[in-house]
Amino acid sequence: MNKYGYARVSTKEQNPDRQLIALIECGIKEKNIYLDKMSGKDFERLQYLKLLKRLKKGDLLIIKSIDRLGRNYSEILEQWRKITKEIGADIQVLDMSLLNTDLSHGNLTGIFISDLVLQILAYVAETERTFIKQRQAEGIAAAKAKGVQFGCHKSKLPDQFEMYYQMWLEGKISTRKAAEQLHISHSTFYRRCKEQDEK
Q: Where are the domains of the chain?
A: 3-131, 161-198
Q: What is the pTM of this model?
A: 0.59
CATH class, domain 3-131, is alpha beta
Q: Catalytic residues, which ones?
A: 10
Mean pLDDT of 168-184: 87
Q: What is the pLDDT of residues 54-85, one digit of tens each?
A: 999 999 999 998 888 887 777 888 888 899 88
Q: Please report the pLDDT score of residue 30 as a whole number.
A: 92
Q: What does the pLDDT read at residue 42?
A: 81
Higher pLDDT, 65 or 127: 65
3-state helix, strand, coil in the chain (%, to 5): 55, 10, 35
Give per-residue pLDDT as tens, 4-57. Answer: 999 999 888 788 999 999 999 999 999 999 999 988 778 889 999 999 999 999
Question: In residues, how long is the chain?
Answer: 199
The answer to whether the CB of 4 falls within 8 A of the CB of 30 is no
Average pLDDT (130-136) is 83
Condensed to tens digits (0 to 9), the pLDDT of residues 135-169 reads 888 888 888 888 776 665 566 778 888 888 888 88
Q: Is residue 114 packed enough to be buried (19+ CB in 10 Å), middle (13-18) or exposed (0-12)?
A: buried
| 3-state secondary structure (DSSP) of residue 101 | helix
DSSP 26: T
Task: Determine the distance from the C-alpha atom of residue 121 to the mean position of all C-alpha atoms in its chain, rounded to a whole number.
Answer: 19
- For residues 99-120, give the mean pLDDT: 69
The pLDDT value recorded for residue 159 is: 82
